[in-house]
Chain A
Amino acid sequence: MFFFTSTGAQPALRWRIFKSNNISWLVSPSDLLIFSSATRTIRPMTIDPVRKVSFITDVVESEDFLFVSTDVGLYKIDKNTQSSERISFPDDQIIQGKIAVDMDYIWLADSNNLYSYDRLGTEWQSYKIPGESIQTTGISSNGEDVICIGKTVVNTFAISTEKWNTTKINDSISDSAVFFNGNNTLTMIDNSSILRYMPSSYSWETTVTESIPRDYLDEDSVIYYVVGTKLMKLTTSTNVVRPLDIPQTGEIYAFSKISDTLLIAAQKRIVKYNINSSSMDFIEYTIDLDASTIEKITFHDKFLIVICKSFVALYDTENRSWQKIARGELKQKIKAVTWDDKGFITRYAPGYQSSLTGSIEENFSLRYKGFKYDTTFHTRFRDGQIVRDTILDSTRLFGYTLPSLPLMNLNFRTTDPHDRSLEMLFNNTSLSTVPSKGLTYQGNRDDRLNSVKVGSTSSNQLSSPTLPTAQLEGGSIIIDSKKRIKERDRKILRIAAGSGLITTQTRWRTLPFRSNGTYKLSKMKNLGYNDLESDDDDTLSLDSADVSDTTDSNKDTTRIVPGSVLVWIDGEPLDSTKYTFYSRTGKLQFTPDAPVDPVSIITIQYKIQTIPDGGINEVELLPKHNFGLLNFGSVSLAPNEWISARVGYAGLDADTLSSSKKNSPILNASVPLEIRKDKFILKFAPEYSYNTQTGAMAGSALLQSRFGSKTGFVFNGMFADNEFVTTDSLSYGYGAVRNQYDFTLSHDITNEMPVSYYQHRREAENGIENRFSAQAGVHIPERPFLDLTLSRISIEHVCAPDSEKTAFDSLFDTKDKMKIRLYETSSKILTNLTHAKKISYDLSHSEYRYESGGKGWRNGRMSTAEVTVAPIQRITLSGNLIYQGGIEIDSMPSAIFKPNFELQTIDAPKGVDFNASYYLNYGKFSLYDSSTDSITRSMNIILKPGMWFPVLRWISPRAAISQVINCAFSVAGPDFWEILTGSNSTNTSNLQKSFGFNIYPTNEILIRNNNEFSELDSGNTFKTTNDIQLWLGTRNFWQAIWNFSTKNNFHNGSLIYDRILTSWLRTSPSFTVTSMIDSIGTRIETSPALKININLQNFWFVKILSNSHDLKLLWTKYKNNSTIIPQIGYTFNLTLLLMPNIQLNNFETIVFKDSKMKDFQSRLSMIVNF
Chain B
Amino acid sequence: MKKILNLMLLSAVFFLIHISCELVSDNGDSVQGVKALRLTKDDISGWTEVSSKGFEEFEAASLHLIINGDAPQYVDKGLVKGFIQHINNAEKRGDLFILDFGTESNAAAMYNYMNDQNNYKAKAGNYDMNTAQLNTSAADGVTAYSHFGRYYIEIRLKDFPNVLESHQTAESLIEVFQYKISDL
Chain A residues close to B by CB (< 8 Å): 17, 19, 63, 182-184, 217-221, 236-237, 256-261, 272, 274, 277, 279-281, 299, 301-302, 317-318, 363, 365, 367, 369, 372, 395-402, 404, 407, 429-432, 516, 518, 524-525, 527, 529, 531-532, 534, 537, 539, 562-565, 576-577, 579-585, 587, 589, 591-593, 615-617, 880, 898, 900, 917, 919, 921, 936-938, 962, 964, 990, 992, 1008, 1014, 1016, 1021, 1023, 1025, 1027, 1041, 1045, 1047-1048, 1050, 1054, 1056, 1072, 1091, 1093, 1108, 1110, 1129, 1131, 1133, 1147, 1149, 1157, 1159, 1161, 1165
Complex interface: chain A residues within 8 A of B119 (CB): 1014, 1016, 1021, 1023, 1047
Known: A217-B53, A258-B65, A962-B139. A563 touches B42 (CB 8 A): yes
* Contacting pair A900 B56 (CB below 8 A): no
Contact (Cβ within 8 A) B165 A592: yes
Bound Cα distance A217, B148 (Å): 35
Give chain B nearest CB distance to A985 CB in angstroms.
Answer: 20
Q: Cβ of B14 < 8 Å from any Cβ of A?
A: no
> In the complex, are the beta carbons of B43 and A395 less than 8 A apart?
no
Q: With A63-B41, A220-B50, A524-B179 as known contacts, state yes or no: A318 contacts B62, CB within 8 Å.
A: yes
State how many angstroms separate the Cβ of A145 from the closest Cβ of chain B: 20
Q: Using known A-B contacts A237-B91, A302-B59, A398-B16, determine if residue A584 contacts B23 with beta carbons closer than 8 Å.
A: no
Q: Is the CB of A317 within 8 A of B62?
A: yes
Given contact pairs A299-B53, A531-B132, A585-B179, A429 touches B36 in the complex (Cβ within 8 A): yes
For residue B183, which residues in chain A have a CB less than 8 angstroms away from its CB? 431, 615-617
Chain B residues with CB under 8 A of A1133: 59-60, 80
Q: How far is the CA of A279 from the CA of B117 in the complex (A)?
A: 21
Q: In the bound complex, how far is the Cα of B184 from the Cα of A589, in angstroms?
A: 26
What are the 8 A-B residue pairs with the smallest beta carbon separation, nearest first? A399-B26, A563-B42, A562-B42, A938-B139, A302-B62, A396-B21, A581-B45, A363-B31
In the complex, the answer to whether B52 meets A398 with C-beta atoms within 8 Å is no
Residues of B within 8 A of A258 (CB): 53, 56, 65-66
Contacts of A532 in B (CB 8 A): 126-127, 175, 178
State in angstroms the CA–CA spacing of A516 and B162 once bound together. 13
Minimum C-beta distance from B85 to chain A (A): 9
- Which chain B residues numbered 49 to 76 have a C-beta less than 8 Å away from chain A? 50-53, 55-62, 64-69, 72, 76
Residues B43 and A577 in contact, CB atoms below 8 Å apart: no
Specify which of B88, B105, B137 is in contact with A1159 (CB 8 Å cutoff): B105
Contact A1016–B36 (Cβ < 8 Å):
no
Instruction: Kindly state the separation between the CA atoms of A1091 and B63 in the bound complex, as whole angstroms.
Output: 15
Least Cβ–Cβ distance between A602 and chain B, in angstroms = 15
Contact present for B26 and A582 (CB under 8 Å): no
Q: Which of B128, B136, B159, B172 contacts A964 (CB 8 A)?
A: B136
Asked if residues A257 and B53 are in contact (CB atoms below 8 Å), the reply is yes
In the bound assembly, the distance between CA atoms of A1002 and B120 in angstroms comes to 37
Given A218-B51, A562-B42, also A582-B23 (CB < 8 A): no
**Cα distance A539–B36 in the bound complex, in angstroms:** 27
Asked if residues A1131 and B51 are in contact (CB atoms below 8 Å), the reply is no
C-alpha gap A397/B159 in the complex (Å): 48
Write 16 A-B pairs (CB below 8 A) sorted by A numbering.
Answer: A17-B52, A220-B88, A301-B57, A401-B26, A401-B29, A431-B180, A432-B43, A518-B168, A564-B42, A576-B46, A580-B45, A583-B44, A585-B179, A919-B162, A962-B139, A1110-B60
Among the listed A184, A400, A917, which residue makes an inter-chain contact with B139, where contact means beta carbons less than 8 Å apart? Answer: A917
Closest B residue to A588 by CB, please name it: B45
* Contact flag A582-B103 (CB < 8 Å), given A272-B65, A274-B69, A1041-B72: no
Partner of A577, one of B65, B89, B137: B89
Inter-chain contact A563/B179, CB cutoff 8 Å = no
Given the complex, which residues of A lie within 8 Å of B148, measured CB to CB? Answer: 529
CB distance from B168 to the nearest CB of A (A): 6
Cβ proximity bits B27-40 to A, threshold 8 Å, 1 near / 0 not: 01101110011001
User: Nearest CB to that of A1149 among chain B residues?
Assistant: B102
| A516 to B168 CA separation, bound complex (whole angstroms) | 9
In the complex, what distance in Å separates the CA atom of A525 from the CA atom of B182? Answer: 10
B112 within 8 A of A: no
- Within B82-102, the residues touching A (CB, 8 Å) are 84, 86, 88-93, 95, 102
B155 CB to nearest chain A CB (Å): 13
Cross-chain contact A880 with B42 (CB below 8 angstroms): no
- Judge whether B163 is part of the interface by a CB distance below 8 angstroms: yes
Number of interface residues of B (CB under 8 A): 93
The answer to whether A396 and B25 touch across the interface, beta carbons within 8 angstroms, is no
B175 nearest CB neighbor, chain A only = A585
Chain B residues with CB under 8 Å of A396's CB are 19-22
Neighbour of A369 across the interface among B26, B55, B116, B120, CB < 8 A:
B26
Determine if B45 and A183 form an interchain contact, defined as CB atoms under 8 angstroms apart.
no
Q: Which residues of B contact A399 (CB under 8 A)?
A: 23-26, 28-29
Checking B62, B125, B131, B139 against A539 with a beta-carbon cut-off of 8 angstroms, the contacting residue is B125
- Contact A527–B179 (Cβ < 8 Å): yes
CB atoms of A587 and B172 under 8 A apart: yes
> Are B66 and A259 neighbours in the complex by a CB distance under 8 Å?
yes
A404, A534, A582, most chain B CB atoms within 10 A: A582
In the complex the two chains form, is B46's CB within 8 Å of A279's CB?
no
B24 adjacent to A369 (CB under 8 Å) = yes
Take A317-B65, A990-B120 as given contacts and tell me if A256 and B53 are in contact as well, using a CB distance cutoff of 8 Å: yes
Set of chain B residues within 8 Å of A400, measured between Cβ atoms: 23-26
From the candidates B22, B29, B117, B132, name the one contacting A367 in the complex (CB within 8 A).
Answer: B29
Query: In the complex the two chains form, is A580's CB within 8 Å of B169's CB?
Result: yes
- A539 contact set on B, CB distance < 8 A: 125-126
A908 to B116, alpha carbons, bound, how many Å? 39
Q: Are B117 and A260 in contact (CB under 8 A)?
A: no
**Could you tell me if B120 and A1016 are in contact, using CB atoms closer than 8 angstroms?**
yes
- Are A936 and B163 CB-contacts (below 8 A) given A529-B131, A580-B46? yes
Which chain A positions have C-beta within 8 A of B84?
A: 259
Bound form: Cα–Cα A708–B174 in Å = 54
Q: With CB as the reference atom, state the residue of chain A lying closest to B46.
A: A580
A372-B26 in contact (CB<8A): no
Report Cα–Cα, A19/B54, bound state, in Å. Answer: 10
Q: How far is the CA of A647 from the CA of B62 in the complex (A)?
A: 61
Q: Are A367 and B37 in contact (CB under 8 A)?
A: no
Q: Known A898-B162, A964-B139, A1045-B117; judge A580-B89 contact (CB<8 A).
A: yes
Tell me which of B64, B116, B182 contacts A1048 (CB under 8 A).
B116
B22 engages A372 (CB within 8 Å): yes
Minimal Cβ-Cβ distance residue in B for A406: B31
With A277-B69, A318-B62 already in contact, the answer to whether A562 and B40 are too (CB < 8 A) is yes
Query: A964 CA to B32 CA in the complex, in Å?
Result: 42
Most B C-beta atoms less than 10 A away, residue of A256, A259, A400, A1147:
A259
Task: Decide if B102 touches A259 in the complex (CB within 8 Å).
Answer: no
Within 8 A of A (CB), among B123-148: 125-128, 131-132, 136-140, 148
Shortest distance in angstroms between A429's beta carbon and chain B's nearest beta carbon? Answer: 7
Given A220-B51, A531-B131, A1027-B69, check contact A398 B42 (CB 8 Å): no
B114 within 8 Å of A by Cβ?
A: no
B22 in contact with A259 (CB, 8 Å): no
Residues of B contacting A219 with CB < 8 Å?
50-53, 86, 88
Is B40 a contact of A432 with CB atoms below 8 Å?
A: yes
Complex contact B65–A218 (CB within 8 A): no
Q: Say yes or no: A919 contacts B42, CB within 8 Å.
A: no
In angstroms, how far is the closest chain A Cβ from the Cβ of B93? 6
Residues of B within 8 A of A372 (CB): 22
Cβ–Cβ < 8 Å partners of B184 in chain A: 431
Q: State whether A432 touches B42 (Cβ < 8 A).
A: yes
CB distance from A754 to the nearest CB of B (A): 25
Q: Which among A317, A516, A531, A562 is the interface contact of B128 at CB below 8 angstroms?
A: A531
**Any chain A CB within 8 A of the CB of B10?**
no
Complex Cα spacing A644 to B161, Å? 52
How distant is A317 from chain B, measured CB to nearest CB, in Å? 5
Hey, which chain A residues are within 8 Å of B64, CB to CB?
281
CA distance A371 to B67 in the complex (A): 38
Residues of B within 8 A of A584 (CB): 43, 176, 179-180
